[in-house]
Structure 1
């Protein structure tokens, strides 16, 4: 049986380039998420919300705590994506199909992790903005 008929992946230069490009896009997305996390940290701790809102600070603290989890997960994913680049480049050194397939499957798992993070983070941001948007002070004199 021909090597390439048993799977959809081939460790040729074109495929390696595609995987490296995808890896680079993940790095860019994660860098953007990191900036969004930094902004949300400032946003949630800013004195910009109306006063005397029942459970406001408790709710903001819950958002802040959840945001710290996203920060850690983003850092972990960034490290994994960075390290995965070397795995991609190393695929060409594989001597058998099982080695190539292993690295390709790892690529797909990492892709799914990045996509899941993006979905969860988008949902979290929607919750934060939906809750806090209506509680922003309209003027600097408002308490």
Structure 2
């Protein structure tokens, strides 16, 4: 999927397919994610609160307005990666609402998720370089291993 001309949103959407297949999410749209990336004070999943806002004009067009209310702490807009770049280069995130295209020379990290929903998980990132014919994994020379931390 990673190649010059690919939409950043397509890379993000493909990354969420395992969650959708397992029924954890209904789609890859970051606006509809049910949980915040940050946990609550007790360590439990933090559900994103939504409040319906009536608006007859929007509803006449088949739309519905909801706001995140009350506000929650921490990042809410799920992304599966972000740019890794030099100073003065524009930053970007790998997420469903980023419709720019990848270009040769761009570097970014993708955070593969290991997740047992609502129980445990880990966030491990690999760094990629967009090349003229695809992508090069820049992290492939770094050994990875599982480390369990006692509770």
What TM-score comes out, normalization by structure 2 length? 0.28
Flag the structure with higher helix content: 1
What TM-score comes out, normalization by structure 1 length? 0.29
Flag the structure with higher strand content: 2
